[in-house]
Amino acid sequence: MKYCKYGSIEDGDDLRPENTDLSSGGAEKQYLQPTRLRFIVSALFMLVVAFVLAETLHIPFKNIHTFQDEESSLIQDTSNSVVLSSTTSSSALLASENSTSLESFQWRRVSNGNFYVGYLEFCNIGNDTFFYRTAVSPTNSSSIPCENSKSTVSPVIRIRPRMNYKLILINRSNQPTNLHTHGFHVSGVGISDDITRKVDPGFCLEYHYRIKDNADVGTFWYHSHRHPISSKQVAGGAYGLLIIDEPHMDTFPLHLQRFFRNEVLLQYAGIRHKDKIHRTHLLNGRKEAMNITMNSNEYYYFRVSFVVISDPVSYFEILPEGACEARPMAYDGVFRSTLPHPESSAKHMLTLSSRLDLAMKCTDDAQVVFHQGELSSGAGLLNIRVIGDDNDASKETKSKQVRASPYWDAEQETSWTPRRPYYMPDLVNVNTNFWKVNKWNVTMDSVMVTKGNDTKPVKKWSINQMRWDPDIAIRELQLGQLVEWTLVNTGPHPFHIHVNKMQIVQEGGCGYRYEEGEYYDTISSEEPCLVRLQFWDFSGRIVAHCHKLSHEDHGMMVWIDVMGSDHGVNGTKQAECSDFALLDPQGP
């Protein structure tokens, strides 16, 4: 059985007669008898049936679009909760004590179609601390000073596949900036994700996004990518969670809808100070530990994002060992080829900019510790209180509802295979004799450079002995071409590519969390790692760089020129913010 996710009501017409005058009681009364009365009764009956089905099948009824909630239908309430889910089900997080809110980015639908507009402000307090906040419209937000914003935590942006989004970035900081949608399969040129574009203080810049495949759902993030000051801006807070939401029924088993509603969002940021000893640890924008409550032995969907500024290898650890079961479900916004993961672990490796989705359940109270660097003692930033343990009568009683589970069969733990987007095919077993494969080594290295009148060369970061030059590409390739790279690391350099993801084809994987056959957008491997990727949909500039942003800022970034129809396309330049006011004529 298939279910319509959104329903035709989203684009429905006004059902009243075209010339009906509702200003007089007579006309209203005439319409009610009998046409409107029948319509109201039918509508109420359909609403009751839909609600019963939603509760029975555990469909998130709140996500069905209606005219009444068209401006907020993509937004999930985050008030006083670590969880971005306002479901009333007791299988959601039961409490969030002493927690901080992750605000939701506000999209406004501006037409009857699937077209949305939102405004994001980039502010600064002093010279070194930056943050984002949501703005309703450019003209309205100008009256609210950045320093008076209620939150310095970046909003969580949620979008859905195959819908059109226009985001206006408002720069109220004192430095030029831009926006990168890390992990998105969108064009690297034009007005989607061209990191060579910039917006100066006091101006606005327009971005357009459309995710092509319904199966492309997952955990991503956005951040400043203005060369050569991206590291400073991201360290100051110029980043936030970015989620492609709402798995479709043809992508996931129906019973998983309830599991996905048990959502916990964690964005960890760590900064190692110049003395290389002291570190700053932030979880969801705060230094203090957060507290959440979970039902005993019930699965929760943890989305974990690592915005670690310095150390290339870090860890997410659950203590004490054995208190919880945590299995990887997705890496870098891509679900594993087979779910659930056959093994549970209390410790999970992440690198700079990476994301990890976990299916996690606990039977005892636990603490999540974030380690910044392999030798770091870590910081306990999340305390988990478990209720409903059958062996502990002193604890609260858990709700007697069916437990949400990532398994096809909760008892037999049967595995299942998610459908991946068409632009992430299985490249492990392709016939390389049939394909014209472009093979080359990608080496994260350094080069000696002489500046100006200096006679003594100095060592500078590079990729294949090339440093960032927006006018010179490292390679020229064709759209649709199959590429095989051997990633060679001469140091702690997480390799990240824009637009397309890399599939690991190295037999046995590449160590740490890098499994053979899985897709990643950032790889930090000590040994040479064999990967394949194919350039789908978008030609033009494809950027690749070390995601230790201080290295990228110092030149460890290159770009590939993919030949195709979009080659040479340029995006619109910055403009006066008043030029975008017409996009939102009704105001807040």
Quote the pLDDT of residue 454. 72
Domain count, the chain: 4
Quote the pLDDT of residue 76. 29
The H or E element spanning position 80 is none
Alpha-carbon distance of 483 to 497, in angstroms, equals 13
Query: Is 27 among the domain residues?
Result: yes
Alpha-carbon distance of 134 to 577, in angstroms, equals 15
Assess contact for 315 and 269: CB atoms under 8 A. no
Domain boundary among 387, 419, 452: 387
Residues 230 and 163 in one domain: yes
Provide the β-strand partners of residue 363: none
- Nearest Cα to Cα of residue 360 among 315, 329, 390, 336: 329
Average pLDDT, 10 consecutive residues per value, the chain (588 residues): 31 33 34 48 60 41 26 29 34 38 84 83 70 56 52 83 93 92 96 96 95 94 95 88 77 72 90 67 88 92 88 87 94 93 91 94 95 71 86 46 61 75 95 85 92 81 96 95 95 94 97 95 95 96 96 97 80 86 47
Quote the pLDDT of residue 336. 95
DSSP class of residue 583 equals G
Residues 112 and 245 in one domain: yes
Residues 265 and 296 in one domain: yes
CA 523: distance to chain centroid? 17
Residues 488 and 555 in one domain: yes
Q: Is the peptide bond before 320 cis (omega within 30 degrees of 0)?
A: yes
Residues 328 and 227 in one domain: no
Q: Which amino acid is at 456?
A: K
Query: In a 3-state reduction of DSSP, which class is residue 37?
Result: helix
Alpha-carbon distance of 135 to 304, in angstroms, equals 26
Query: Is 11 among the domain residues?
Result: no
Residues 521 and 381 in one domain: no
Assess contact for 501 and 586: CB atoms under 8 A. no
Query: Is 572 among the domain residues?
Result: no
Quote the pLDDT of residue 390. 53
Domain, as residue range, for 52: 22-57
Alpha-carbon distance of 351 to 306, in angstroms, equals 7
Assess contact for 207 and 166: CB atoms under 8 A. yes
Query: Is 71 among the domain residues?
Result: no
Residue spans of alpha helices (H) in 116-155: 138-141
Residues 106 and 211 in one domain: yes
Q: Encoding tokens for residue 151?
A: 């939150």
Alpha-carbon distance of 488 to 506, in angstroms, equals 13
Give the list of residues 6+ apart from residue 480 with CB closer than 8 angstroms, or none. 534, 535, 536
Assess contact for 98 and 294: CB atoms under 8 A. no
Residue spans of alpha helices (H) in 250-319: 256-261
- pTM beyond 0.75: yes
Domain boundary among 57, 74, 105: 57
CATH number of the domain that residue 215 is part of:
2.60.40.420
Query: In a 3-state reduction of DSSP, which class is residue 165?
Result: strand
Residues 237 and 286 in one domain: no
Residues 480 and 356 in one domain: no
Query: Is 246 among the domain residues?
Result: yes
Quote the pLDDT of residue 47. 61
